[in-house]
Structure 1
Amino acid sequence: MSKNRLFNQTKISLTCWYASIFSGIITLGALGVYEAIAHAHYITINQELKTVAGTFHDTLEPLLLKPNKLEKNVREIIPDLCLIDEKCDNLYYENRYITRLIQQGKYYLKFYDLSGNLLGNAGIKIDNLSLNHPSEEFKTIQDNQNNNYRQISLLLHSKNNQEWGYLQIGRSLEEFDQYLNNIKWLLVLGLPLLIILVIIASWYLAEKAMKPLDKSYQQMQQFSSDVAHELRTPLAAIKATIDSVMLTENLSIKDNQETLITINRQNQRLINLVNDLLILSRLDAINQNNYLLEKTDINLIDLINDVTEELSFLAIENKINLCQDIQIKDNLIIQGNEAQIYRLLTNLVVNAIQNTPESGLVTISLENNKKEVIMAISDTGIGISEEDNLLIFNRFYRVDKSRGRDKGNSGLGLAIVSSILLFHHGRIELESTINKGSIFTVYLPK
C-alpha cells in the first residue's frame, strides 16, 4: 500500500512538473506569436504610411506658395480638401487616385501652420486632434470613440524652399485591431484546451516514465524476497542440526562427524550463494555504468579444454559422460575477459550436468563463422518446457526447485551467464524438449 501511494505521489508530481513546464512554454510561445504578428503589422502599416506620406510630400510642395497659407490650388491634388474657414461636404471624386486612396484606405490628412494651428483637412473626419510632438515620426492616437489611428507628421516646405507648416497623415487601425482581437480571442480560448491536452499528455508521459521504475522496484522486492528465502533454508537447516545436537547427550564420534558434514554442506550453500550474488552485483555495476574490464586474447579451444578437465570429476560423480565436439583445427582467438568467459562456460556445463540423469551425455561443441563464434552445450537431460524457456535466465529461477536445492544450486548460474554475455555483446539461444534434452547456444562476436 505504501509503495502504491509513493508511486502515485511521484506520478502526480511528475505530471505537475511536465504540465507546468510545457504549459509555460506554450504560453510564452503564444505570447511571442501574438507580439510577432502585431510587430509585423505595425511594420507593414508604418511602411505604408511612409509611402503615402512620401507621395503627398513630393506632390504638394510645388503647390505651396507662402508659409502658413494653404492655397486652394491644393484641391488639384486633394479635391475633397476642406479649409478651416469653409463648410465642406467632403465630396468624393472617383477619377482621382489619391482621393480614392484616402477614402478606401481610411486615411485622414490635416494641415497645420508652423504655430500648430489647423489650416485644413481631408479624408475621414477625426475630431479633437492637435499638432503634438511634430518631431515624432510615428505615433498611435485614439479618438473619443476609442478608435485607434497610426499617424505620421511631416514638415512641408514652400515652393521657395521655406518652411511652410506640417502635414499629418493618419490611417485607421480598425481592421488591424479587429484582426489582433481575433488572434487574442483565439489564444484565450485555445490555450486552456492546449493546457488540458498538455496535462493529459503529461500524465501519460509520467506513467510511461514510472513503468521502468515500477518494474525495477518489483524486481528489487522479488530479488530481496528470493535472497531471504535462499538464505533462510540453509540457516534453518544449520539451526535445526545444532538444536538436535544440543538436545542429545553422549553423542558418538560418528554422530558428531555427520553433524559437522551437514553443517559444512549448508555452509557451502551459503558461500556459493554469497559468491554468486557478489558476481552478479559486479556484473550489474559493469553493465550499467560502462565500467571497463581488462580484455585480452582468449584461445577458446584451450579454455574449453580447461573447463572440461576441471568439471570431469563432477561428471564422473554424477555418472555423466562429458565430451567435446570441436571440428576446428587451428586456434580460435576472441577478445574478452577470460575469467568471465570461463565462468560462463562453467555455469552452462554445471547446469547441464545437474539436470541430466545418470548415463546421460553432455557435449561441448565449437563452431566458427565470418562474424561470430558459436559455442553449444547440449545435454540429454530432463529438458525445459516452453513456459520455463522465458524465465530460465531470471535470478533464482529453477525448473525443478527441489532438485536444484539438493545439488546446492542457487538459481543464479544462468542469470550470471546472461550478464556476462551482455558485457561481451553476445547472445544465447535455448532449444529444449521435455525428457530429451536441451541445447544452450552462445554467440560471441569476433
Structure 2
Amino acid sequence: MPTVCLFTRDLRVHDQPVLHAAAEQGDGQVVPLFVVDIAIEGYRVPNRARFLAESLADLDAGLRDAGAGLVVRWGEVAAQVAAVADAVDATAVHVAGDVSAYAGRRRRALEEALGDRELVVHDAVVTVVSPGTVTPASGDHFKVFTPYHRKWAGLEIREPLDPPEDLRLPAGVRAGDVPAPADLADGPTAPDLLPGGERAARARLDDWLDRIDEYARGQDLPARDGTSRLSPYLHFGCLSPTEVARRAGTESEAAVQFVRQLAWRDFHHQTLAAVPRAATRDYRDRGDRWRRDDDEFAAWADGRTGVPIVDAGMRQLHHEGWMHNRLRLITGSFLTKSLYLDWRLGARHFLDHLVDGDVANNQMNWQWVAGTGTDTRPNRVLNPITQAKRYDPDGAFVRRWVPELAALEGTRIHEPWKHRGSHDLDYPEPVVDLEQAGAAFRAARGA
C-alpha cells in the first residue's frame, strides 16, 4: 500500500531519509507531497518565496527522474495531508522532525488529523545530530557550545543515502502545479539572490570542497569569497547537512573549522528545542530595558548609520539576501549594544531579507550577539571600527557597498568623519558616539 512523504525543510532527493523510508515502506509507491501553507510568514517574503519556488521546481524534476514527481497542495497542512492519505489509502505519512513552534503545532495537528494512520517522524534530517541526542550529564541540553561540540564531534556520522529509483505515484494522483514566486509573495527580490534548488546546491558544494582550504584564511574576511554560502541550501534542505559534514571531512584544519559551523547550527537547534520560548523571549534575562528610536532603527536597516562597516553589511543584505557571518556579528552588536535597541527588531528584519532565515539559527545567533543567549561573555561590545580595521584592513568590502566613500584611502575609509576636510562626502555623521554608547550599554547591564 502507498505511503506519503511530506516534504518540509528537506527539499532534496539525495540523502533524503524521509523519502527513502516512505518509498521502502510503500514498496516504491509513494506520494511525494508539499503543502503550501500560506500561514507561514516566510512564504510571503519575496527572497525566500523565489528561492522556495525554484527549489520546489528542482525537487519536482529530481522526483520525475526517479519515476514520480512532486504533488503540491495549498491550505492547512494537516487537512491537506489527511485528504491525500485518505484518497490513496496510505498506510503511513513520513515527515522530518523540526524544532520550531510551528513544526510542533504541525506535528500535533497531523497526529490528530491522520487518526489511525501512522505518522513517522524522522530525526537528523534537518540537522546532522537531532536535538536531544547530545546532552550533558545533568539537564536536557547544553547551554555552552564548547562542551556540546566536544561530544558532537565524537559521534559517528552515518553514510549518506543514494537518491531513490523506481518511484511510482498511486493511481489517480497527478504531480505538478509547482508554484511560481509570484504565487507566494509580491514584491522585488534581492538583485543578486542565489538560485534555489538541489542542483544549484550540489554544484556550489562541489565548488566549495575544491577550495575549502580558503576557509582557514578567509572565513572572517568579508571582501574575500572565503565562505561556502551554503546556508540557504541547508535552510531549505536542498543539501543534507549530514552529507556536507561527511564530504568535508576532517583531513585539514580548514575542514574541521567548517564542520564546526554545522555543529553550531545543531547547537542552536538543540537550544530552541529545549527552550521554545527563546524564539521570542530572552534565553537569559539580563534585565534589559531596551530603548525605542524608530529613526535610529531605520538608519541601521537602510545602511545609513554613518558607520561604514555596519552600513556595508546592511547593504549587502539588501542586495544579496545574504550577509557575511562577521558582518552579522558586527551589525547585530551595533544594533543591540551601541544603539541598545531590542534584538527582536533585528531578528525580524533579518528574517524579512535573509534567504537562509531560520528560526533556530537566526534567533539564537541574535540572542548570542545581544548577550541574552548562550554567549559566555554577554556584555562584550564589538567595536565596529576595530572590527573593520581587523577584518577589512584595506577597506575593500566597504568600498564595494559604500561607494560614496571610495575616495578615502586605506583604513581612513572606516572613520570618514575624521577626514571631511579634504573630501566632499555624501555620507551621514554617525548616529551614535561609539565610546559613549559602549559605556552606556555596560552601565545599563550593570557591568
Q: What TM-score comes out, normalization by structure 2 length?
A: 0.20
TM-score normalised over the length of structure 1 = 0.21
Q: Using CA pairs below 8 Å that are at least 6 residues apart, which structure has the higher relative contact order?
A: 2
Q: Which one has the largest radius of gyration?
A: 1
